[in-house]
Amino acid sequence: MYKKISKNEKVTRNISDVHSADNYLTKDTTENISVAVTKLNGKLESSKIINERVYYFISADVDFLIDDENVHCESGDVLYLAKDTIYSAEGNFEAVTINVPAFGVVK
């Protein structure tokens, strides 16, 4: 089985005034993984992640607060967040974002 998702098939979700996601591979295709391009331009409030997440920063100048530790990310960096990690962010980024299992799936 395979699925090619073109840029015209993406589904854009405005998470907040400063945070959006262009969803490509979603739980509708597979519950095992999701892929999106996410963008932040401002402050992302603190939240606890319910799955594993990887960010590959296409462009970035962003500061994360992860479990009370400051982490700065720039273009070309990769950030891994384990399940149940508490984090927030402030700055700007565009990133390929991968969730395991797929975003919205609780296992």
Supply the pLDDT for residue 103: 85
54: part of which helix (H) or strand (E)?
A: strand 52-66
Supply the pLDDT for residue 71: 98
The closest of 34, 30, 38 to 13, measured between CA atoms, is 38
The closest of 70, 75, 80, 72 to 60, measured between CA atoms, is 75
Supply the pLDDT for residue 43: 97
Sign of CA dihedral 20, 34, 54, 49: positive
Instruction: Please determine, for residue 10, whether its predicted confidence score (pLDDT) is greater than 70.
Output: yes
Supply the pLDDT for residue 104: 74
* Confidence at 107, pLDDT banded by 50, 70, 90: low
* Confidence at 79, pLDDT banded by 50, 70, 90: very high
**Alpha carbon 59 to its chain's center:** 13
Instruction: Please determine, for residue 92, whether its predicted confidence score (pLDDT) is greater than 60.
Output: yes
Supply the pLDDT for residue 105: 65
